[in-house]
Chains A and B, each alone.
Chain A
Amino acid sequence: NAGVTQTPKFRVLKTGQSMTLLCAQDMNHEYMYWYRQDPGMGLRLIHYSVGEGTTAKGEVPDGYNVSRLKKQNFLLGLESAAPSQTSVYFCASSYSAAGHNEQFFGPGTRLTVL
């Protein structure tokens, strides 16, 4: 099993450009999450999904959109990138059942917006 994978690993954008980050998991997890990690601020939840076709806002959703058309994939979109979106982005997934709550993280995407 590959676990949770993310594409791309690195990206540099200019202000105003758009891009999509792809997260894929092969563990048949119902729940998927997108976080951003900034120095001294831990991991903050951007958006999450409780199943195929569902999405919901997290703590810091502004400037991002997401889609979950397939259970194994969760896409994070930036329509018009801003320097404040420079960060490391982590995707995670987990089971929904009680007692199986560990979130498994992907390797991260380092995004720089100039």
Chain B
Amino acid sequence: GENVEQHPSTLSVQEGDSAVIKCTYSDSASNYFPWYKQELGKRPQLIIDIRSNVGEKKDQRIAVTLNKTAKHFSLHITETQPEDSAVYFCAAILMGYGNKLVFGAGTILRVKS
């Protein structure tokens, strides 16, 4: 089955700097890769996703890149702000019966002001 590894487990940046979180997946057939943000005590919420037929996707300060050959994808946050502090999870699925997500272990991002 699919296995997703996420690095780093914690990341501290200064406000205004960029943050990059990387994930690798094992199943080359996986074709959908979402990123979720979870604030302390809250539910995970989708912030951006990418499909396997796209190499990069951007939404304001957030971007995701996908390298299918290397089986890894990354989240890029530019001009970080204190409200970006949260836990970020990557996930991967092979779309099909149930569309079951396999999540990475998460990255705690701290933005210092």
Residues of A near any B CB (own CB < 8 A): 31, 33, 40-45, 48, 50, 56, 58-59, 90, 94, 96, 98, 101-103, 105-108
Contacts and interface: CB of A to CB of B under 8 A. Distances in A.
7 contacts: A31-B98, A42-B106, A45-B102, A50-B97, A101-B32, A102-B34, A105-B43
Given A31-B99, A42-B105, A43-B89, A105 B9 contact: no
A21 B23 CA distance: 32
Contact of A96 (B6, B89, B99, B104): B99
A43 B98 contact: no
Contacts of B98: 31, 48, 50, 56
Interface in B1-60: 6, 9, 32, 34, 42-46, 49
Contacts of A42: 6, 89, 103-106
A14 B63 CA distance: 45
A90 B36 CA distance: 14
Contacts of A48: 98, 100
A107 B43 contact: yes
Report whether over half of chain B's contact residues are helix, strand or loop; otherwise say mixed: loop
A40 B45 CA distance: 18
Contacts of A101: 32, 34, 49, 93, 95, 99
Given A40-B105, A42-B6, A101-B95, 20 more contacts: A31-B98, A33-B100, A33-B101, A41-B105, A42-B104, A42-B105, A42-B106, A43-B44, A43-B101, A43-B103, A45-B100, A90-B43, A96-B99, A101-B49, A102-B34, A103-B34, A103-B46, A105-B45, A107-B42, A107-B43
A95 B100 CA distance: 12
Contacts of B43: 90, 105-108
Contacts of A96: 99
